[in-house]
Structure 1
Amino acid sequence: MPTTTPTTHITCRNGDQVKVNDHVYCSPGWSVRDGTPYSVARIMEFLPAQGTPTFDANGNRNEPFTRVRLAWYYRPGDVSDRTVADCRLLLAAIYSEVCDISQLRSRCHVLHRDKISDLAGWKKRPDRFYYTRLFDPWIRKDFEIIQTTSVRNLPENIRETLVSRYEYIVTEREIVPDLTDTIRNCAVCEKWCPPSETVQCDRCKNFFHMLCNNPPLLAKPSRGYGWTCAPCSREHEQEVEGHELSRHHTPIASKPKSNAPAPRGRGRPRKDRSLADKEESVEIKHFKMWPFRYFGLYTIAEDTLDPDDLIFPRAASRIGPKFQATTLPPVGSENDRPPDIEERGGDSTIEVYSLVNEMSPEEVATMETYKNTLTRSQKLLQSVDWLTEVIFRFTDAWVNHRDMATVSMQSVMRKRKWATMETRYTDREWSTGEKAAFEEGIMTYGAELRPVKQVVGLQRTMPEVVRYYGHWKNMKLGEENRRIKLARLSGLEAPPDNPVSGNVTDDDDSSIIMDLPSGKPTTCGACRTRESEVWWKGPKGNAEILCENCSVSWRKYADINVRSSREETVVKKTVEKREGTPLTGPVQKRPRTTSRTSTPPVPQATAQIKCTACHKNGPMGKVLRCKQCHFRVHAGTCGAVFDATSPESWLCDLCQNDKTQDASVIPDCLLCPRTRKDPKKKGYNPPADSYLRACKPTEGQAWVHAVCSVFIPEVSYTDATKLKLVEGISTIPLYRWMNKCTLCDQEGGAVVKCSDCPAEYHVSCAWKANHKFGFELQPVKANRKDSVVVTFKGHDGYLAPIVTCKGHPPHHREQFDICDMNEHGETSLQVYCKNYKQAPTSNMHHLLRKAHRLDQIINTEDSADSESTQSFPEPTCSRCRTEFSPCFYPVSSSTAAPSNSSNGSTTGQNWLCHKCHMQDEVLAVHPILTNGKSKIVS
């Protein structure tokens, strides 16, 4: 990097010249960034190497410059879960950090909204950003940013100081109208009234200090209540007594002047190149390298005159009766203090961790000897927590004149003086599941450890998560250093990386670029193109491989939906453009674009949500989370209908039914065995952490599990895209209801058969047992002309539902999980239901279909009763001699038992009951139902 003076420029990676107060893209190397977009920052100062003084003896800056101090900007999606459609909007911050000067990528432009005359034209130009608010990373709160010249409600000396030093001030939203109003003086003392210490009379509209009133006001009126001064109160009482209220007119206070920009005229703004250049080169005042400072509710106005006053945002103080307990002083003098009360700060209330400096050399040598006998683990001998506890226990033994041989480290618990219970001196070991959850949270939320702690679970406290994050980060750095060392020993210039494809060359922008792989063509995760000279790594979980154009949008704007080909193309022609034409783009008229296509929502800014069906992460919109019960599932797997602009307001069917009560309030599945003993008692609801929470209403206002309705073939839907209403439960064959489940061994409920063995079970029992659920594309035979051929992931065939036992080995047939998506974003379950589970709604109404199914049941019973009455009165099973069965089956004389020569039938026909028939594994044919003695199971 060339040596510079404070007035010269520094060259970025792409060749741009930048100086102090310029805005740049900043990013570390690829191994550190790992696919995240560039950060936007302002250059505050250039610094020499670490350890070198910034200034020499003559007061000049030392050279060469190897580091740079940057003032960071945040993207709204990085600090909150809300989605912001404008990818050019940033959040300022009073937060700086020193980085290596090699991390500067290229130059960009960031301005406050009030400095931009044509915002639409500004956002259409490349590398242009703007901001209106400030985010404080310490108190995690947003603040408004307004120009200091618009602040009028200040004493003249304070206002002149602010205007001369700072370009903007940072304040709370609620006091912006108070600061931008005309100066307010107290009606009593005629001095300036700060907004935090001022009350306004609702009658005369004058302002008063709370302490200037007689008696003084201790607090402001509550929200929704007004206050009147003493003269106005007396005047009001006189008007009430003289009945003169109708002649009184309350003065109307002038509307506070706002900082909002003046309304612009209608029509398309004129795009003047000279005006745009002036906006880019506008001079911003900085005081001690910052263009703004905090001036809000918790600021003392006179403190701003001090140049060393802190400029950071502040919150409410923890002083007062709400946060501190007011106690009475002890009775009597200090000598009357009870002997059992210990004074804080004394020797009895302080824990001494180490007194090694007061031990003799012989005692220190003895302590080291016994320390090596406490453990043989090298990991513990290098643990800071363990060594600190060892020194503490040896010190305690030395103070109490005990032998150091009595010190033991068998117990990990110890009693602290200020704690009522024993605590661990070190955190317990993290399990494999907790480590996986922690790394998943880090991958989703980064270093924001509060949401990471929620992913890990309630078993870990926030301090434990913070400490483990430090150990985990050091472990990753150690692995990286060992990998670099091994690479150097093997003769490589750079360590081997694990990109999507290709080899990494070095640790700058070229390390992100990956060669086009051979064999299977690479597809861009954003625009689906297969043509690109270089491929870049994109955001995890959404589009991991990006083409060159989409990678520019992602790296600079954190939005892969922005088409940056027009923006990144700099017009190099010398043709004179008339005033009003765009600065870039073709000369011919371009089609009008709406704000939705120009600034679409940013799906990458949303948090990743884990689906309870496939246990995979997905962005908000593809994976939905119920607003009430927090049930999480892919939208295409439960037939969800939601507003695309606000997917966070989605409610699952059961929670929606709690409000509307369109269906039954008892969410028992009709296709599962009855588990509720008292049908009127509302007890069990499907858990929110299981896919069985996805329930769908039936045509009779009851409920079935979504997975049960999908994998039982006789069931259909009125609207297959929404998976409701569920129809055809009465058409399910009788043998599905009669067979026992091999998992729960219960009767009742409809069973399905395993695709690889004769085992039969309920669908919900199979799901709880972690059986394999999916769909298989089977070839369509020539004689099956009624089969619907579908295309899924480039393969054609008949999409068949598959349920396989957990213990079966995997086969070579290709199966798709219920949450697997095609190129159109539809899940396999969604494609199957749309093509095979849709009821014939085109030629038959819903009520008519229900009536036809009822007619089939009635006609079957009537025909069976008439036939059994005429031909076969009162049949008896030839094997078990029972006269009661749901149905009887005619068999040959060889199948019947030899001892049953007479079966009680008048015709001599041999019969088998349903139980004996199923034991012989005889296929069910048209059963002949008996008359009055038969027990028909509905």
Structure 2
Amino acid sequence: MQGAGVQAGQISLRNGERVKINDHVYCSPSWSVRDGTPYSVARIMEFLPPEGTLKGKGKGKENYTRVRLAWYYRPSDVSDRPVADSRLLLAAIYSEVCDINQLRSKCHVIHRDKISDLAGWKKRPDRFYFTRLFDPYIKKEYEVIQSSDVRNLPENIRQVLIQRYEYVVAEKDVVPDLTDSLRLCQTCSEWCPNPETVRCDRCKKFFHMGCVQPPLLAKPSRGYGWTCAPCSKKHEEEVDSHEVRHPTPVTKPKSNAPAPRGRGRPRKDRTLAEKEENLEIKHFKLWPFRYFGQYTVAEDTLDPDDLIFPRAATRVGPKFQVNIPSPPTSDVVKPPPTTETQNPDPDERGGDSTIEVLSLVNSMTREEGAHLEEWKSALTRRRELLSSVDWLTEVIRRFSQAYSANRGWSTVDMSSPMRSEKWKKSETRYTDREWTAEEVAAFEDGILTNGAELRAVREEIGTRPMPEVVRFYGHWKNLKLGEENVRIKAAGTPNGDDASHSSRATPISDDEGSIVRNPPKANSICGACRTRESDIWWKAPKGLATDILCDNCGTNWRKYADLNVRPVREDVLSSAKSKREGTPLNGPTAKRTKTSTISTQSPPPNTAAAPQLRCLACQKNGPVGKVLKCQGCHFRVHAGACGVAIDKNTVDSWTCDLCQNAKTLEASLNTQCVLCPRRKASKKPAADSFMRACKPTEGQGWVHVLCSVFTPEVTFTDVSRLRLVEGISTIPRQRWSTKCTLCGEISGAVLRCSDCVREFHASCAWKAGHKFGFEIQPVRNHRRDVVITTFKGDTGAMAPVVCCREHENSKRHLYDICETNEMGESALQLYCQTYKQAPVSQAHGLLRKARRLDQILNIRSDSLTSSGDPSDRECLRCHTQYSPCFYPSVPGLSNDWICHRCHFDTKPAIPELMLPAISRSPVEMDKAFTSDDWSPPTWAT
């Protein structure tokens, strides 16, 4: 198709189809260039000659090698949300010039409103439809409606809009206003555009804001209404006459908007379907639609040169304005400044002094250019830098600066990777810093797991921004392809003449080089449907069980980006000696091969599969080092979800806190969480659940990480390790005495669902499958008591959220516990560092506990001395005279006293209320914690 001639505005593709301008086609470069991605869908806008030549004047004698295409996006290209409909596309006002050889075959794309039988349309091959438009610059989706459905416009503007364009692009909130009947002002009888219109809340009539007396400066706030003068007067008369009646409900006037799509079974009419395919679509200057939304002036439609692209709000606030100081005012007349005293004018914008010079090579002589090449080679001993684009750009820039300043080439130095730019305050790097071995390993692990989805790869790395990941991916891929080419050249190509002859004899359907010729019969298994029989085998994208697809799956992937992947069984991947259950029906009946070389994934060249571990908190796989495995109980969790500082030397020997305490005996041997319901049969947390993650408390007890993080009153002495949980005594008594809606027990501290009134224990909610996460709540008025943080681009107050099973589909945007940001910090880590750190710099731990007890007991310093001198008091049991508080031994009597410690030793209370283990051993604490007569403390009353 190179140098194709156009006959009557048509060209022939390699498969024999003829396409013309405004036809929809599949477009794609070769399989190796596009990295296994599906075909792109586009509309032919115009055919173009080779670059640098003019169009031929003879009719039908033009030599066209390029084509301008208007792209369509798939929903998966612009967002991560799954879309079940593989025929749904997103239109775009975006075009690009491509080689004409990239056109594959013809397809059909029309708007949803022009399809009478959508189910029948999607059953036919190569049929697509769209309802929305995506703008790649604003990163926003818009509604697309037919221009004939727009009625709320003056007749002259509406006719021009209908004659030129087939569709109108607008925001979703603007579509009802556009499709409504014509709105006229009741005062001037002129058209009322939406931004300048106010509507009476009683008579439902429209007015210009300037036609109202007095004129309105702004629309009513949300939740408030406005009434016109006649309606207001009528209402006042009703109030004065005491005849106020409730207004009768106003029936909604009949709208001229298009009727909703029916849900019944449509009538199948093949002639109607063929007619819909060949509908004539109006195009004006190569585009069938234009933007007519919230930020459009309707009269601009009459201008044929008006821009048709979507627009956003104009930035006219004080943040984007220039603050020009006012000239000094004085009554004394000063003489005009002379040349010596006059300050030099600042750099005028757009002048020569404001231009950043990048290269002056074109102004150098040939001899100077030759010397420059010699000095450039002498600046580095690393041969790879001589072909680095970033390094060469900076070298030319520094040589140009030296040339403009009349300095010699010897003054140029490339030892520093930093450069100072004219309009930046600090120095910046002209190239990315070197990638460490750990970062390269994490990058290759992400490529192995997620393929070319670089957003997920960036989250695996955690220490690199997205631009650096994209740049490194290009260098890394070129390096792998170069190594593969070296191996191919070293191995040699046998029978080169025969190979070249066979390549010339390839069928026309293999113009993209993605058909596998003569695949090995032993491994001919489709990576999607697991079939073994196919007339044509196609190359498969990365991440499947095999590297080939059958004809049906290969076509569906390329055209519709749809694969019906069957799960790969482990016994299929291992040796097969006999026929097993679940064998595909279309598989061969002969004896199976004894060995199979099918791998679960198709890794990049020369990359070994890194071991993956599944985290028990988020149920996602991760490389060793980010997901830790306890060598004692084999508990697996992300390091950021249990407060572990990663040390690459001790990753393999890491032990969880419970296993470590079994050896050191630093805390209680009873590992039951103090915030969960207490049961007689103490059972250790299972190693196959996130409930195994526990942390010691200041009273030598244990608390689940989940319970401590999602309980607002609890803090940590060291948030980096989530150790020494404190503040449990500040939990209100109501939370201890509330019945859990899941387990039905009253003991333990409960939490409330963020969307309803259900209350439950955190551990019960986790076992029941409730949703745990963190929400960034926007803060309008920044108060001093609200701490603002930023996570993955969202800024606001971070709050822990627990949603029960009935609210799984709520509109809350929650970040998972193990979800990480660009710096590699998990959401749980960031929340604890921001909101869970105890004020260790303000007071000692024992003093903080005493202050919490004072708040609970409502004891003030003056109340201790109100009944006499406290120095005369002595504990009835231990005979001590020193205690922060004395209690009467018998209520109503004040002669005998009991000290603070003896008072709480009468019954085992909440462990956090006990003093630190000065005289208590772990065995004694175990007896206190597991005693059957334990009950909530009486002090809270």
* Amino acid of the structure 1 residue aligned with 2:524: T
Q: Which residue of structure 2 lines up, in the alignment, with residue 90 of structure 1?
A: 89
Q: Deviations over 1:461-489 (max 9, x none)?
A: 44444554665677678779989999999
Mapping of residues 545-584 of structure 1, within 5 Å: 545-561=548-564
How many residue pairs are counted as aligned between the two chains? 612
Q: Does 1:374 align with 2:371?
A: no
* Amino acid of the structure 2 residue aligned with 1:706: D
2: CA distance between counterparts of 1:394 and 1:700? Answer: 76
1:167–1:284 Cα contact (<8 Å) kept: yes
2: CA distance between counterparts of 1:14 and 1:357? Answer: 48
Mapping of residues 23-34 of structure 1, within 5 Å: 23-34=24-35
After superposition, the Cα gap between the structure-2 partners of 1:559 and 1:47, relative to the gap in structure 1 and judged at 3 Å, is same
SS at match of 2:63: coil
Q: Does 1:673 align with 2:661?
A: yes
Partner of residue 289 from structure 2, selected from 285, 288, 292? 292
1:88–1:130 Cα contact (<8 Å) kept: yes
1:43–1:69 Cα contact (<8 Å) kept: yes
After superposition, the Cα gap between the structure-2 partners of 1:535 and 1:356, relative to the gap in structure 1 and judged at 3 Å, is closer
SS at match of 1:94: coil
Q: Deviations over 1:267-305 (max 9, x none)?
A: x43322222222222222222222211111111212222
* Amino acid of the structure 2 residue aligned with 1:536: W
SS at match of 1:56: coil
After superposition, the Cα gap between the structure-2 partners of 1:131 and 1:487, relative to the gap in structure 1 and judged at 3 Å, is farther
* Amino acid of the structure 2 residue aligned with 1:71: A
1:30–1:507 Cα contact (<8 Å) kept: no
1: CA distance between counterparts of 2:414 and 2:506? Answer: 48
Q: Does 1:419 align with 2:424?
A: yes
Q: Which residue of structure 1 lines up, in the alignment, with residue 530 of structure 2?
A: 528
Q: Which residue of structure 2 lines up, in the alignment, with residue 691 of structure 1?
A: none
Q: Which residue of structure 2 lines up, in the alignment, with residue 162 of structure 1?
A: 161
After superposition, the Cα gap between the structure-2 partners of 1:708 and 1:14, relative to the gap in structure 1 and judged at 3 Å, is same
Q: Does 1:431 align with 2:436?
A: yes
* Amino acid of the structure 2 residue aligned with 1:423: T
After superposition, the Cα gap between the structure-2 partners of 1:142 and 1:347, relative to the gap in structure 1 and judged at 3 Å, is closer
1: CA distance between counterparts of 2:203 and 2:667? Answer: 68
Q: Which residue of structure 1 lines up, in the alignment, with residue 328 of structure 2?
A: 331
Partner of residue 705 from structure 1, selected from 680, 684, 687? 687
Q: Which residue of structure 2 lines up, in the alignment, with residue 307 of structure 1?
A: 304
1:176–1:258 Cα contact (<8 Å) kept: no
Q: Does 1:279 align with 2:272?
A: no
1: CA distance between counterparts of 2:642 and 2:436? Answer: 35
1:516–1:534 Cα contact (<8 Å) kept: no
* Amino acid of the structure 2 residue aligned with 1:535: W
% same residue: 58
After superposition, the Cα gap between the structure-2 partners of 1:396 and 1:25, relative to the gap in structure 1 and judged at 3 Å, is closer
Root mean square deviation, CA, Å? 5.2
1: CA distance between counterparts of 2:466 and 2:62? Answer: 43
2:685–2:691 Cα contact (<8 Å) kept: no
Q: Shift of residue 134 of structure 1?
A: 1.4
Q: Shift of residue 214 of structure 1?
A: 4.7
2: CA distance between counterparts of 1:370 and 1:271? Answer: 76
Mapping of residues 623-634 of structure 1, within 5 Å: 624=620
2: CA distance between counterparts of 1:632 and 1:204? Answer: 68
Q: Does 1:269 align with 2:284?
A: no
2:165–2:282 Cα contact (<8 Å) kept: yes
Q: Shift of residue 517 of structure 1?
A: 3.9
2: CA distance between counterparts of 1:284 and 1:543? Answer: 44
2: CA distance between counterparts of 1:127 and 1:139? Answer: 30
Q: TM-score, with normalisation over the residues of structure 2?
A: 0.55
1:670–1:704 Cα contact (<8 Å) kept: no
Q: Shift of residue 558 of structure 1?
A: 1.8
Q: TM-score, with normalisation over the residues of structure 1?
A: 0.55
1:154–1:192 Cα contact (<8 Å) kept: yes
Q: Shift of residue 698 of structure 1?
A: 13
Mapping of residues 524-923 of structure 1, within 5 Å: 524-544=526-546, 545-561=548-564, 614-615=611-612, 624=620, 673=661, 700=682, 703-706=685-688
Q: Does 1:513 align with 2:515?
A: yes
2: CA distance between counterparts of 1:473 and 1:329? Answer: 57
Q: Deviations over 1:745-776 (max 9, x none)?
A: xxxxxxxxxxxxxxxxxxxxxxxxxxxxxxxx
Q: Does 1:67 align with 2:63?
A: no
* Amino acid of the structure 1 residue aligned with 2:688: A
Q: Deviations over 1:444-463 (max 9, x none)?
A: 88887666544443x33444
Q: Shift of residue 387 of structure 1?
A: 4.3
Q: Deviations over 1:308-367 (max 9, x none)?
A: 222222222222335446555343599799969955637776655556677888877776
1: CA distance between counterparts of 2:154 and 2:12? Answer: 45
Mapping of residues 330-479 of structure 1, within 5 Å: 330-331=327-328, 342=346, 345=349, 352-353=357-358, 371-394=376-399, 405-435=410-440, 437=442, 453-457=458-462, 459-465=463-469, 467-468=471-472
* Amino acid of the structure 2 residue aligned with 1:561: N
* Amino acid of the structure 1 residue aligned with 2:464: R
2: CA distance between counterparts of 1:451 and 1:335? Answer: 63
SS at match of 2:556: helix
Q: Shift of residue 144 of structure 1?
A: 0.9
1: CA distance between counterparts of 2:205 and 2:450? Answer: 50
Q: Which residue of structure 2 lines up, in the alignment, with residue 56 of structure 1?
A: 56
SS at match of 2:41: strand
Q: Shift of residue 146 of structure 1?
A: 0.7
After superposition, the Cα gap between the structure-2 partners of 1:456 and 1:242, relative to the gap in structure 1 and judged at 3 Å, is farther
Q: Does 1:113 align with 2:112?
A: yes
Q: Which residue of structure 2 lines up, in the alignment, with residue 728 of structure 1?
A: none
2: CA distance between counterparts of 1:190 and 1:703? Answer: 76
2: CA distance between counterparts of 1:115 and 1:681? Answer: 69
After superposition, the Cα gap between the structure-2 partners of 1:653 and 1:395, relative to the gap in structure 1 and judged at 3 Å, is closer
1: CA distance between counterparts of 2:656 and 2:445? Answer: 34
2: CA distance between counterparts of 1:472 and 1:488? Answer: 25
2:529–2:565 Cα contact (<8 Å) kept: no
2:149–2:179 Cα contact (<8 Å) kept: yes
1: CA distance between counterparts of 2:451 and 2:526? Answer: 24
After superposition, the Cα gap between the structure-2 partners of 1:209 and 1:6, relative to the gap in structure 1 and judged at 3 Å, is farther
Q: Which residue of structure 2 lines up, in the alignment, with residue 649 of structure 1?
A: none
After superposition, the Cα gap between the structure-2 partners of 1:287 and 1:386, relative to the gap in structure 1 and judged at 3 Å, is same
Q: Shift of residue 156 of structure 1?
A: 0.8
2: CA distance between counterparts of 1:210 and 1:235? Answer: 21
Q: Shift of residue 219 of structure 1?
A: 4.2
SS at match of 1:520: helix
Q: Does 1:203 align with 2:218?
A: no
Structure 1 runs not aligned, ≥5 long: 497-502, 564-603, 605-611, 641-651, 656-666, 686-696, 711-934
Q: Shift of residue 147 of structure 1?
A: 0.8
* Amino acid of the structure 2 residue aligned with 1:541: G
* Amino acid of the structure 1 residue aligned with 2:56: D
